[in-house]
């Protein structure tokens, strides 16, 4: 059992940390306030290889392992969770799903550009009446000769208006229930594909979250991923890996808030000495550090299991469940350590607290993670 990072891992982590400080930190408060998507920053992340980290180099990816990916996700998330969720969706859901299950022509046409960061992708599963219950898909795809006719609505879609490629889950045979669900690749700009207004959110406000409407959209048969009826399995397998990315995001939000709290506690004086010398604050910091370290080990273990080709669904659910809980706990305490200053935007921690909440909701709520874990325990 080894607990050291390799030189390559350290180099990736440090590169992500340097990028976050130099490129994401400037303007992060303004982007949050104005709900502005970080277009330029995402473009630079693509140029540096952060948008297709685990993809095989023959498809323009970085060929890195999942541990490298979560280390980078943590560092990016310390500064800007709106940027890191775009990175997570493109890496964990879109690129991974296409590389694992796509045809060679799909990889050549779409994956190469996605992995290179030339374009970004979106993963479209949630609907107005199908959130945690992903089997209740109302979006339909009817086969007509050499194409499908796609109709329905998706919501809460990350990269909703900024993506060029959308992986859409739809019902192809209602009589078969979840075994009649299929997955398709849809391009922006196709007739009948409309993008709704941007959601005005509590946190990750810079993230590009939209509803999508499909009205008689013609999707070529060659844009189906796998066989008909494979869509639900595709979505669940893809989300298993996506949870590792969101767990790393939650870890990064917690770590970022903790680092700010430690720095502030050394500067702020009360009763004649820095508040870091008061036991009340020391105990808060001790609890925060312990929770973060436990979350980090869960995240790294789930990444390691994935890299080893072992079953990681149970571990990724545990990592997301716990890391998201830690993100909420730590960010709330970080605001408390800052006192009144923690309640204003200038000191960053209030934004991290707002950003933390979504990690308990998207890519499977905490309650869904407990279902996944308990089923694994009792199997």
- Which residues are catalytically annotated? 363
What are the backbone angles phi and psi of residue 279, rounded to the nearest 5°?
-60, -35
> What secondary structure, in 3-state letters, does 174-186 show?
HHHHHHHEEEEEE
DSSP 205-231: TTS-EEEEEEEEEEEEGGGEESSTT-H
> What is the rounded distance in angstroms from the CA atom of residue 85 to the CA atom of residue 203?
12
Query: In the structure encoding, which two tokens stand for residue 186, read together?
Result: 């849809």
Reported in sequence order, the residue ranges of the chain that DSSP labels E, i.e. its strands, are: 121-124, 140-144, 147-158, 165-171, 181-187, 193-198, 209-220, 224-225, 269-270, 273-274
Q: Which residues, including other chains, have CB under 8 Å from residue 4's CB and lie 6 or more apart?
A: none
Q: CA dihedral defined by 338, 344, 348, 351, rounded to 10 degrees?
A: 110
Cα torsion angle, 103, 237, 4, 246, sign: positive
CA atoms within 13 A on the CB side of 106: 25
Residue bearing tokens 């105990």: 283
Of 283, 367, 285, nearest to 324 by C-alpha is: 367
> What is the rounded distance in angstroms from the CA atom of residue 158 to the CA atom of residue 353?
20
């Amino acid at each position: 059992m080894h607990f050291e990072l390799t030189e390559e891992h350290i180099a990736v982590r440090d590169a992500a940390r340097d990028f976050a400080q130099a490129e994401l930190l400037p303007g992060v408060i303004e982007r949050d306030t104005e709900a502005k998507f970080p277009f330029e920053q995402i473009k630079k992340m693509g140029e540096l290889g952060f948008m297709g980290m685990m993809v095989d180099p023959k498809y323009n990816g970085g060929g890195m392992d999942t541990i490298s990916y979560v280390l980078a996700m943590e560092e990016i998330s310390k500064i800007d969770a709106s940027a890191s969720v775009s990175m997570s969706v493109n890496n964990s859901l879109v690129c991974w799903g296409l590389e694992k299950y796509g045809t060679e022509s799909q990889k050549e046409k779409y994956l190469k550009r996605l992995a290179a960061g030339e374009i970004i992708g979106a993963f479209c599963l949630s609907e107005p009446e199908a959130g945690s219950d992903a089997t209740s898909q109302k979006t339909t795809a009817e086969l007509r000769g050499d194409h499908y006719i796609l109709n329905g609505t998706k919501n809460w879609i990350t990269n909703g208006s900024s993506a060029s490629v959308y992986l859409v889950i739809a019902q192809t045979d209602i009589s078969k229930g979840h075994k009649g669900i299929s997955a398709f690749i849809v391009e922006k700009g196709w007739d009948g594909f409309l993008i709704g207004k941007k959601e005005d959110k509590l946190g990750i406000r810079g993230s590009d979250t939209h509803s999508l409407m499909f009205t008689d959209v013609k999707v070529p048969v060659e844009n189906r991923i796998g066989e008909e009826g494979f869509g639900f399995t595709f979505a669940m397998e893809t989300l298993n890996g996506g949870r590792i990315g969101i767990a790393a995001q939650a870890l990064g939000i917690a770590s970022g808030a903790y680092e700010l709290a430690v720095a502030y506690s050394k500067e702020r004086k009360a009763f004649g000495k820095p508040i870091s010398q008061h036991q009340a604050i020391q105990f808060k910091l001790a609890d925060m550090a312990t929770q973060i370290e436990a979350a980090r080990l869960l995240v790294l273990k789930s990444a390691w299991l994935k890299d080893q080709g072992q079953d990681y669904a149970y571990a990724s659910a545990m990592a997301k469940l716990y890391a998201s809980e830690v993100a909420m706990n730590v960010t709330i305490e970080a605001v408390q350590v800052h006192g009144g200053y923690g309640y204003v935007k200038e000191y960053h921690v209030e934004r991290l607290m707002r950003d933390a909440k979504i990690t308990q909701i998207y890519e499977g709520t905490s309650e869904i993670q407990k279902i996944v874990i308990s089923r694994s325990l009792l199997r």
